[in-house]
């Protein structure tokens, strides 16, 4: 199981214990959670018709899907008008009938067709993590629906500040630093370190001073998040549940209202104890100026892989599986070889990656 998935599971586990464990924590916990749900609720105006023909009937235990996103936006970036990109995207399906929850991670650099008008700029192809920056949760949900050919019923996000605050809420984390280094005016000694949220995020982000580069950074991210997961699920943390709810209320957004959350807790909890995880796998692809900006690295998903993942999720949503992609599904492998005119960086109404806002795609914030 990937570390980001474990963090999500840990938080879900904590919240469910607060709700279900009313006897242990008292009715105050119930009303505190209800207040937090109201604070985090943010409806989404869909920019295209969902692939659902009818609304989900939770009382009938119909399977549902949720798009979970870790967004690389903190307070400073928000004040500057930066919506941020999704550093992590994960589709979760919950099927009470099979008693299973399936979680599929989507690589942030996955090449997708967006077909979206962003102000005066037309965006045809880009990395999937840009969808949230251009059109918020609505475009992210549409893009994932188009990629996986399944309905996305709900979304939930947590931002960069939430990561640091969540670590602070559980009392920090202890890491074992392999070597001393400095980053952003912070010094990290070699050996065992007790880190607060801000320092833990910085510790997990360092790459350039590491002889193993990005691989070393990923090791530190796993270390920090493993420690955080252990803290979230500890008895001591759950007894102080209000800190977790405060962080969620300040840093999370979802279109799950209290009524829906209550239905999920009442009817879908057994399926949350049985998890199956998977990863959409891509292959390295460098943009050629026709499909993707020239010189930019992407992850391109093969037809066989997208069919495999689509069927995995379709089965969990009780939908018919497929043997081939729909006729209107964009085959980016073929298009990359057949395009004769550039869709990137040629005219004033064409988006060039990083033209209006600079994003550091080399940075992973550990979500």
How many C-alpha atoms does 309 have within 13 Å on its Cβ side? 25
Any idea what the Cα angle at residue 283 is, between residues 292 and 300, rounded to 5°?
A: 35
Any idea what the Cα angle at residue 306 is, between residues 342 and 264, rounded to 5°?
A: 120
Integer Cα distance of 333 and 340 in angstroms: 14
Most confident of 156-160, 220-224, 259-263: 259-263
Any idea what the Cα angle at residue 98 is, between residues 94 and 103, rounded to 5°?
A: 35
Got the DSSP string for 294-340?
TT-EEEE--HHHHHHHHHHHHHHTT----SS--TTS--HHHHHHH--
Of 104, 119, 136, 114, nearest to 291 by C-alpha is 114
Most confident of 103-112, 264-273, 327-336: 103-112
Work out the pLDDT band at 362, boundaries 50, 70, 90.
Answer: very low
Sign of CA dihedral 156, 160, 163, 168: negative
Q: Which residue has the tokens 């090791």?
A: 219
Integer Cα distance of 133 and 78 in angstroms: 11
**DSSP code of residue 41:** B
pLDDT of residue 354: 35
Work out the pLDDT band at 347, boundaries 50, 70, 90.
Answer: very low
Cβ neighbours for 74, distance < 8 A, ≥ 6 positions apart: 159, 160, 161
- Is the predicted pLDDT of residue 350 greater than 50, yes or no? no
pLDDT of residue 12: 53
Q: Do the bridges between strand 191-195 and strand 173-177 make them parallel or antiparallel, or are there none, so unpaired?
A: antiparallel
pLDDT in tens, 193-239: 999 999 998 898 787 888 876 557 767 877 887 787 677 766 565 56
Q: In Å, how far from its chain's centre is CA 254?
A: 12
Q: What is the percent of the chain with per-residue pLDDT over 90, rounded to a whole number? A: 26
Beta bridge partners of 128: none
Lowest mean pLDDT among 201-210, 236-245, 271-280, 286-295: 236-245
Work out the pLDDT band at 363, boundaries 50, 70, 90.
Answer: very low
pLDDT in tens, 33-43: 788 888 889 99
- Is the predicted pLDDT of residue 260 greater than 50, yes or no? yes
pLDDT in tens, 160-201: 667 788 888 888 999 999 999 998 888 999 999 999 999 998
Work out the pLDDT band at 52, boundaries 50, 70, 90.
Answer: confident
Output 192 or 345, whichever has higher pLDDT: 192
Q: What is the percent of the chain with per-residue pLDDT over 70, rounded to a whole number? A: 73
- Is the predicted pLDDT of residue 292 greater than 60, yes or no? yes
For residue 234, what are its two tokens? 């500890």
pLDDT of residue 358: 34
Integer Cα distance of 300 and 40 in angstroms: 34
Say if residues 189 and 177 touch (Cβ distance below 8 Å): yes
pLDDT of residue 236: 62
Integer Cα distance of 45 and 362 in angstroms: 31
pLDDT of residue 367: 34
């Amino acid at each position: 199981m990937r570390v980001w998935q474990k963090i999500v599971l840990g938080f879900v586990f904590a919240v469910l214990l607060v709700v279900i464990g009313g006897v242990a924590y008292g009715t105050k916990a119930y009303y505190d959670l209800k207040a937090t749900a109201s604070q985090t609720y943010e409806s989404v105006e869909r920019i295209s018709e969902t692939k659902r023909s009818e609304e989900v009937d939770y009382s009938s235990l119909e399977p549902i899907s949720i798009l979970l996103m870790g967004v690389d936006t903190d307070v400073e970036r928000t004040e500057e008008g930066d919506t941020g990109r999704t550093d992590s995207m994960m589709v979760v399906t919950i099927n009470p009938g099979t008693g299973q929850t399936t979680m599929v991670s989507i690589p942030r650099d996955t090449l997708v067709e967006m077909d979206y008008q962003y102000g005066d700029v037309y965006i045809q192809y880009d990395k999937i993590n840009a969808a949230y920056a251009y059109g918020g949760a609505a475009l992210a949900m549409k893009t994932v629906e188009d990629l996986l050919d399944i309905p996305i019923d709900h979304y939930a996000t947590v931002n960069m500040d939430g990561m640091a605050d969540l670590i602070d809420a559980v009392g920090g984390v202890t890491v074992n630093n392999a070597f001393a280094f400095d980053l952003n005016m912070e010094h990290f000694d070699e050996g065992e370190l007790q880190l607060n949220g801000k320092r833990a995020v910085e510790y997990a982000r360092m790459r350039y001073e590491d002889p193993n580069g990005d691989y070393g950074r990923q090791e530190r991210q796993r270390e920090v998040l493993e420690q955080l997961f252990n803290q979230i699920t500890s008895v001591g943390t759950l007894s102080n549940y209000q800190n977790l709810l405060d962080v969620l209320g300040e840093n999370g957004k979802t279109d799950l209202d209290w009524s829906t959350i209550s239905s999920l807790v009442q009817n879908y909890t057994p399926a949350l104890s049985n998890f199956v995880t998977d990863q959409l796998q891509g292959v390295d692809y460098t943009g050629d100026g026709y499909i993707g900006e020239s010189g930019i690295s992407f992850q391109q998903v093969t037809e066989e892989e997208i069919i495999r993942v689509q069927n995995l999720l379709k089965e969990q949503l009780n939908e018919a599986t497929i043997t081939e992609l729909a006729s209107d599904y964009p085959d980016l492998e073929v298009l990359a070889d057949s395009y004769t005119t550039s869709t990137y960086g040629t005219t004033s109404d064409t988006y060039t990656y990083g033209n209006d806002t600079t994003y550091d795609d080399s940075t992973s914030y550990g979500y």
